[in-house]
Amino acid sequence: MVSTDPPDRFQAVRSDFIDRKVVSHLTTMRVADLSAGEVVVRNRYAGVNYKDCLAIQGKAKIITAFPRVAGIESVGEVVESSSGRFRPGQEVMVHGFQTGIAFDGGFAEYLRVPAGHLMPLPTGLSQLEAAMIGVPGFTVAMALERFRQLGITPESGPVAVSGATGAVGMQALLMLSQAGYEVHALSRRAGDGSMLHALGAAQIVDARPLADETRPIERPRFAAAIDNVSGPVLSWLLRSLKDDGALASVGNASGNEFSCNVLPFILRNATVFGIVASPAWPVRERLWERLASAWRPDLSRLAPHVNMIRLENLLEHSRNHLEGRTRGRTLIRFD
């Protein structure tokens, strides 16, 4: 094993299951305490996603075995490796593969990662740039690729994005508008309109009254939609698709349930597909290569909406996030 020696103890936010409740706290750990893997990574940036906040606050059954270091994504560099594929000093990233769920993840200064889960940093992206894009940008890339495969081009019509002030929503506005689509942002925060326009939204739709719209089918408005919230918004988007329209179901920020009827399918040939941002390697490599080149989001426009926090502020941030008091992308920066 080649080594640049991680310290004996380092900081982590660890989640335990005590008295049938998830309890997360700042503590110190050793590399040997982490779940097994061939590569030890010094963490530089960890994305904080909605799912991570649910996990560490015990608001959903996400972590599959305790104790666990949550955090579904990390960017850093290798400090120890018994894998021939990775060497100390190499810049790497990990997301998906149950990271932060069944394997210890990004909410610690060091990670131990199975070599089969780790990827070299995409050529052309710095550690910070890769972290800013992260799981939210990768998720949008998966949706965009599928829209293209379904033949949805900028000429097909507008594309809607719900939960527009969230991490996925903002990157969807940027990437879809950069790809030439007319993007309509659905948000409960109508007051954020100028920010959403600056990120690429051509129109803003107030998402709050959509729950009262109960027509079985709506005026055909959108060639495609990325839905981050589920519930009545997802239902309205589906009923508002144009002929041959497609909807990517990405998230559940308002809950898991939605109701609909068959009319979008049997009258307009609608396609609904799901996204899980942990695809097989060929898809990962192809999409990260695109995110570093042709589909690279303009990160100077995203930067004002990236909140940098410290590990010790994670628990407070997660409470605020779940109470809807945050916007945009949040990253933990490690020294």
Ligand X SMILES: NC(=O)c1ccc[n+]([C@@H]2O[C@H](COP(=O)([O-])OP(=O)(O)OC[C@H]3O[C@@H](n4cnc5c(N)ncnc54)[C@H](OP(=O)(O)O)[C@@H]3O)[C@@H](O)[C@H]2O)c1
- What minimum distance in Å lies between the beta carbon of 108 and ligand X? 21
Q: Residues 229-258 vs ligand X: string with x where CB under 6 A?
A: x--------------------xxxxx----
Q: Are 118 and 150 in contact (CB under 8 A)?
A: no
74 contributes a contact to ligand X by CB under 6 A: no
Candidate residues 68, 117, 188, 284; the one interacting with ligand X per rule CB under 6 A: 188
- What minimum distance in Å lies between the beta carbon of 198 and ligand X? 14
Cα 89 to Cα 77: distance, rounded to the nearest angstrom: 6
Q: What is the DSSP letter of 109?
A: S
Q: Are 89 and 78 in contact (CB under 8 A)?
A: yes
Q: What is the DSSP letter of 38?
A: S
By residue count, the chain amounts to 335
Comparing CA positions, the residue from 310, 243, 292 lying closest to residue 271 is 243
Which residues in 42-58 are b (16+ Cβ under 10 Å) and which e? bbbbbbbbbbbbbbbbb
Give the pair of three-digit tokens for residue 297: 């989001």
Site for ligand X in 82-121 (CB under 6 A): none
Site stretch for ligand X (CB under 6 A), options 38-46, 132-140, 287-295, 299-307: 132-140
- What minimum distance in Å lies between the beta carbon of 171 and ligand X? 8
Candidate residues 165, 177, 240, 318; the one interacting with ligand X per rule CB under 6 A: 165
163 contributes a contact to ligand X by CB under 6 A: yes
Q: What is the DSSP letter of 104?
A: -
Candidate residues 12, 207, 302, 311; the one interacting with ligand X per rule CB under 6 A: 207
Candidate residues 12, 92, 135, 241; the one interacting with ligand X per rule CB under 6 A: 135
15 contributes a contact to ligand X by CB under 6 A: no
Residue with Cβ nearer ligand X (276 or 294): 276
49 contributes a contact to ligand X by CB under 6 A: yes
DSSP bridge pairs for 76: 43, 92
Site for ligand X in 255-314 (CB under 6 A): 275-277
The residue type at 216: P
200 contributes a contact to ligand X by CB under 6 A: no
Candidate residues 24, 99, 228, 318; the one interacting with ligand X per rule CB under 6 A: 228
Cα 70 to Cα 73: distance, rounded to the nearest angstrom: 9
Cα 254 to Cα 50: distance, rounded to the nearest angstrom: 11
Residue with Cβ nearer ligand X (34 or 131): 131
The DSSP code sequence of 30-98 is: -GGGSPP-SEEEEEEEEEE-HHHHHHHTTSSS---SSSEE--SEEEEEEEEE-STT--TT-EEEEE-TT
Q: If binding means CB under 6 A, how many residues of this protein chain bind ligand X?
A: 29
Q: Binding residues for ligand X, per CB under 6 A?
A: 49-51, 135-136, 139, 163-169, 187-189, 207, 228-229, 250-254, 275-277, 321, 324
